[in-house]
Chains A and B, each alone.
Chain A
Amino acid sequence: MKGTRSNDWMVGLAILGAMVLVVASTLYLQQADLGEKRTGISARFRDVGNLQVGNVVVIRGVRSGKVRSIELAEDGWVLVDMDLDEGIRLPVDPVALIQSSSLLGEFQALIAARSGVPHIREVETQLSDTLNAPPQALPGAVLPDIAQLTTVAGGIAGNVASVAERVRTAFDDSAARELRTSIRNFTTLSHDLANAVRKQSRNLDSIAVDVRSSMDALSQTSASLRNTASRVDTATSGGEIANIIKETELATANLRAASARINDLMISLERSESNLRGVIGKADSVMGKVNRGEGSLGLLINDQSLYRNSDSLLVDLRTLINDFRKDPKRYFALRVF
């Protein structure tokens, strides 16, 4: 009988002890709160992502409660009930945001002031979606999680890589060489143009001086004419009018000559410009062909093998001549018999 009682006692103790250990461990690991008062709040979302019952509720980074329940509501809403720890005060104009709390796919509910919400168009749209919203529920939104962000970042990286590849293809070594050549040609062209303009400017200066002197002569003539006219009535002696007419004719001739020179200069300038354009066009075409490796010059410049072959040919020829000098019999066999 004593043995039976001892067995009962031991078995009962083992069972109760194991139950206490298991229950206590479970409550401890679940962070269960026995008897603690909590405040319940609700938030409405269009979608709750991976949020699950038991996930933590965070206010300004501090764990402040848990998600109690998640259930579908009318008009396409999802209602999330949360329990907040005792004494927790909500921020002004609060909103609930669902965000991932780690790279491992864990989510949490964040309660923040509306003014502190990140300026993301989708989030703002979700928060402002108040039509038919359940009453007494905080507006809620889901922040983009790391998977979405990495997807977008991946797309951007792909586009950048594509653009970089295209740039690399378009701007290869030959393109860079051609660009350098074009810049060099343009420099030469601008230099030639500056010289031409300088020369024509000098000519124009000369023409202007001539025109000015002609105008002076004309004005002198005009003054003389005026004087002559004033004296026509009084002057009776001959020869003065004839002189005036002669001077006028001389001035007119000078003016005509100056005009002719200006015309010649303009024609010359136009011809020079046309020639210059032709020269530039031909030079550009020639340089293009040379750069593309067309023609002998192009091949000589671009195809190094040609140079090497020519060089090699000269070396061979020189060797041949030396060898011929050393031992002509190898090349000329004079047989008498």
Chain B
Amino acid sequence: MIETVGRVTREAVEAFGQAGKLTAEAARSSRDFKTWWPNFTQQARKLGVDSLPIGILIALFTGVVLALLASYSFTGWVPRYLVGTLVQKTVMMELAPVLTGLALAGRVGANIAAEIGTMRVTEQVDALETLSFDPIAYLVVPRVLAGIVMFPVVVGVAMFVGLGAGWVASMTLLDLSSQEFLKGARYFFDAFDVRYGLVKSASFGFAVTVLGCMNGLRARGGAQGVGASATSAVVQSAVMILVLDAFWAMVWLLGRAR
């Protein structure tokens, strides 16, 4: 048992170390603009644009559920316009970034890990090195940059859709007037809410893509190894999203609350 604890700890620290090392290599390789730029938009489309439907779908249902939940919770003397406040704050600051991030961790993280893992086990990565291509610049940098740029795009659209869904649900299902909902949404609105959600989602994009690339490059063996690396990428990305969520809350919200 002691050996197991030691091995798990070592692997976790190793994973952090490898992710850090990969990040440093990617930062160094980002100077090789000619290698990664042609792949950037392709990755941005695959990771971001193609992920918009799932982000919109999640936000749609999240907004509706939040409006109903707020209406259920706010009874008695609590003003009904606070439904708008709750939907606005929760969608923009928490649910749109985190739920979209978790969905993209499954879709994007697994995709990256499986793709790079397959290239690794079929020795295509070695072939790139043989052809004097920097595999980090060719495979990792465009994906990481696409993740950092496109996650906020998907989350921004999800914020808009989630707020709109909550607005429509409040009017149609809760008999709340449009003015009441907007009053609540505007009452405590701060541009910081949007900034906080977008910065957080950019960090999620970075974590998901770096972990996907790292697990893909670590893949060994055949299809089994590729599957294991994809699973690890999804699990690690999901955990990392929650860790980063807590990190940003402590860094930004704790300071503002005081």
Residues of A that sit less than 8 Å from B by CB: 3-4, 7-8, 10-11, 14-15, 17-19, 21-22, 25-26, 29-31, 102, 106
Asked if residues B159 and A25 are in contact (CB atoms below 8 Å), the reply is yes
Residues of A within 8 A of B194 (CB): 22, 25-26
Min CB distance A305 to B, Å, is: 52
* Interchain CA distance A22-B164 in the complex, whole Å: 12
Residues of A within 8 A of B79 (CB): 102
**With A25-B159, A29-B185 as contacts: A4 and B153 at CB distance below 8 Å:** no
B contacts with A: majority SS: helix
Asked if residues A7 and B44 are in contact (CB atoms below 8 Å), the reply is yes
What is the total number of residues of chain B having a CB less than 8 Å from a CB of chain A?
A: 27
Asked if residues A29 and B88 are in contact (CB atoms below 8 Å), the reply is yes
Residues of B within 8 A of A102 (CB): 79
Asked if residues B156 and A22 are in contact (CB atoms below 8 Å), the reply is yes
Min CB distance B126 to A, Å, is: 26
Asked if residues A19 and B42 are in contact (CB atoms below 8 Å), the reply is no
28 contacts between A and B (CB under 8 A): A4-B42, A7-B41, A7-B45, A8-B41, A10-B45, A10-B49, A11-B44, A11-B45, A11-B48, A14-B150, A15-B149, A15-B150, A15-B153, A18-B152, A18-B153, A18-B157, A21-B156, A21-B157, A21-B160, A22-B159, A22-B160, A25-B159, A26-B194, A29-B185, A29-B186, A30-B186, A30-B189, A102-B79
* Interchain CA distance A31-B190 in the complex, whole Å: 11
Asked if residues B44 and A30 are in contact (CB atoms below 8 Å), the reply is no
**With A15-B153, A30-B191 as contacts: A4 and B41 at CB distance below 8 Å:** yes
Asked if residues B49 and A14 are in contact (CB atoms below 8 Å), the reply is yes
Asked if residues A4 and B38 are in contact (CB atoms below 8 Å), the reply is yes
* Interchain CA distance A7-B48 in the complex, whole Å: 11
Flag whether B163 is at the interface (Cβ < 8 A): yes
Asked if residues B41 and A26 are in contact (CB atoms below 8 Å), the reply is no
| Segment 174-214 of B: residues with Cβ below 8 Å from A | 185-187, 189, 191, 194, 198
Ranked 8 nearest A-B pairs via Cβ: A18-B153, A18-B156, A29-B189, A7-B41, A22-B156, A11-B44, A21-B160, A7-B45
Residues of A within 8 A of B191 (CB): 26, 30
Residues of B that sit less than 8 Å from A by CB: 38, 41-42, 44-45, 48-49, 52, 79, 88, 149-150, 152-154, 156-157, 159-160, 163, 185-187, 189, 191, 194, 198
Residues of A within 8 A of B163 (CB): 25
* Interchain CA distance A18-B47 in the complex, whole Å: 15
**With A21-B157, A30-B191, A31-B186 as contacts: A11 and B49 at CB distance below 8 Å:** yes
**With A21-B157, A22-B160 as contacts: A106 and B42 at CB distance below 8 Å:** no
Min CB distance B116 to A, Å, is: 19
Residues of A within 8 A of B45 (CB): 7, 10-11
**With A29-B186, A30-B191 as contacts: A19 and B156 at CB distance below 8 Å:** yes
* Interchain CA distance A9-B39 in the complex, whole Å: 14
**With A14-B48, A14-B49, A106-B187 as contacts: A7 and B160 at CB distance below 8 Å:** no
* Interchain CA distance A2-B42 in the complex, whole Å: 12
Min CB distance A240 to B, Å, is: 114
* Interchain CA distance A22-B150 in the complex, whole Å: 14
Min CB distance A299 to B, Å, is: 57
* Interchain CA distance A7-B150 in the complex, whole Å: 13
Asked if residues B153 and A14 are in contact (CB atoms below 8 Å), the reply is yes
Residues of A within 8 A of B198 (CB): 22
| CB nearest to B197 among chain A residues | A22
| CB nearest to B160 among chain A residues | A21
Q: With A14-B49, A15-B153 given, can you name 15 additional A-B contacts, CB distance below 8 Å?
A: A4-B42, A7-B41, A11-B41, A11-B49, A14-B52, A14-B153, A18-B152, A18-B154, A21-B156, A21-B160, A22-B156, A25-B163, A26-B194, A30-B186, A102-B79
Residues of B within 8 A of A7 (CB): 41-42, 44-45
Min CB distance B161 to A, Å, is: 9
Min CB distance A32 to B, Å, is: 9
